[in-house]
Structures are given as C-alpha cells and as structure tokens.
Amino acid sequence: MLYRLILTLFLLLFISCRGKDLTDSKGFVSYEISFNSDKNYIINEASFILQLYEYNIEILDPTKDYYVIQTFWRLRDGQMAFDSDTVWALFRDRVLMHIIPRGRSSFYFRGYQVYNTVLQFEFQVQMGQGNWVKATPPKEYISEYETIIKEIKRRMLRYGPSSGE
C-alpha cells in the first residue's frame, strides 16, 4: 500500500515537472474550425485555400477516424529582431491539419460523421550550422495565418455543408 502511494507521488511529481515542456506552445499557432461537414469536404476546401498560400499537401495519415494532414515546409527569408539590431534569417513553416470526429449529423435523411478541424501552424528559424529552431512567428505570419483561417471559413460557409458523400 505504501509503495503505491510513493509510486503515485513520484509519477505526479514527474508529470508536473514535465508539464511545462509538454504544453509549451513556442513555434506553434493553432486555430479551430468547426463545421457540420464530412472529412472529404473539409480536406478539399482547406487544401484548396492552403495551396493558394503556397502550402502543398505532403501526407495524409489516417488513423481510425482521426486524420492528420501535413504540408511540405514553406521556405521564406526575412528580417528578425535580435537585441537592438535586425538580422536576415531564413524561416520555414508548415501546416498540420487535425481532423477529429465530433459526432453524427443528418442531411436529407442521410446520417454521416461530422468532424472538428484544428489547423496548427508550425514555425521555425534557421540558426547557425543549419539547425532549425522553433520560434514564435512574427506578426506578419500570424496575420497571414488568420487570413487563411478566414478564407477557409468563408469558403466553407459560401458553399454550405456537404451531404456526406
């Protein structure tokens, strides 16, 4: 009985110490898109808008009902503030689209699975010796990410929900 208590306390201590590392959001910006539509509709509309912003779909990884779509890295150069100076840097970012089952819906008396979508933008900066380091995206990148989300939502609202086919 005592060893279970000690083991539980040790695990809680380990998890609480690692908790900051597990929830660190540096280098990631996430947005949630929720519509009553099926996964094919979400994938088609989101990939169309992402391609307009130079993101190319690399992989679709289905695991049961959970889907992850990943794009290739998009490379850009720009300026980054460093102390009181600005330096040229090479940036790269990509999108991870998580499509998660949310429930069931019906459309014209046909039931189908509806999904919740989270777009996660990953941002990195190239440092010395070619190492890529996660960093917080600059404001212009964040405004571009917000524009992408608005475009996806506008397009999905304009063409309405899918019939699940």
Going from N- to C-terminal start, the domains of the chain cover: 25-159
- Residue with more model confidence, 128 or 50: 50
User: Across all residues in the chain, what is the average pLDDT?
Assistant: 76
Using the predicted structure, report yes or no on whether residue 129 has a pLDDT greater than 60: yes
The answer to whether the Cα torsion of 15, 17, 18, 21 is positive or negative is positive
Q: Find the mean pLDDT for residues 13-40.
A: 60
pLDDT at position 107: 60
Using the predicted structure, report yes or no on whether residue 66 has a pLDDT greater than 70: yes
Using the predicted structure, report yes or no on whether residue 61 has a pLDDT greater than 80: no
What's the pTM? 0.72
pLDDT at position 145: 94
Question: For residue range 67-123, what is the model confidence (pLDDT) as tens digits?
Answer: 788 999 999 988 777 778 877 889 999 999 988 877 766 666 666 677 788 899 999
CA distances from 147 to 25, 100, 136, 144, 160 (A): 21, 23, 18, 5, 20
pLDDT at position 6: 61
pLDDT cut 90: percent of the chain above it: 24
- Residue with more model confidence, 161 or 32: 32
pLDDT at position 124: 92
Q: Is 59 exposed, middle or buried (0-12, 13-18, 19+ CB in 10 A)?
A: exposed
- CATH for 25-159 is 3.30.530
